[in-house]
Every structure is written in structure tokens, then in C-alpha cells.
Amino acid sequence: MRKDNLRLGLLLGFVVPIIGLFVYYFAQFRLFTLREFFTVILAQKSLLSAIVSISLVANAALFTYFINNRIDRTAKGIFITTCLYAGLALIWKLV
């Protein structure tokens, strides 16, 4: 993980929130199927806030690691994707 690369940051920034989503699924909804889980998410927009929070906290931790180790281009990619996820979640919640 020492590579300082914007593409790596973008990739990590997209993948880590998805991992956070599955962590939330296994912690809170493991008795439901994935299909039921996503149906509930689509039906209850208030649940989206909790999921986005968990996912973006995972990105924030990753971003902090890269910033503290002065791997700035990778951190920049993570920050860009974090902003995209947050913006999309906000738009989804308002629609």
C-alpha cells in the first residue's frame, strides 16, 4: 500500500464503502437475504443515512492512513470518491 497513485485511491475509495456496506449487512441484517436487505434500503431512506455513515467512516479511516503516511495522491482519490458517495447519498435521500 505504499504506492502513491490517484487511480489506486479512486479504486480504494469505491471499494472500501462497499465493504462497509457488507459489514453493516452482516452486523444488522444477517438474517435477511441480500435482496431483502436492498429492498429495505430502497424502501426506508432513513436507513440509508446509517449505511452511508458506516461506509464513509471506513473511507475516512483509509484516508487518514494515507494522509498520515504522506501518500497524498492516493488520499486525493479516496477523498474524491468519498465526496461522490456523500453527494449521491444526499441526492438519493432528497429525491
More confident residue, 12 or 86: 12
- Can you tell me the mean pLDDT for 25-32? 91
Q: Is residue 2 helix, strand or coil?
A: coil
Q: What is the pLDDT of residue 2?
A: 61
Contact 82, 13 (CB under 8 A): yes
Long-range contacts of 65-71 (CB under 8 A, 24+ apart): 66/9, 69/2, 71/1, 71/2, 71/3, 71/4
Prediction pTM value: 0.84
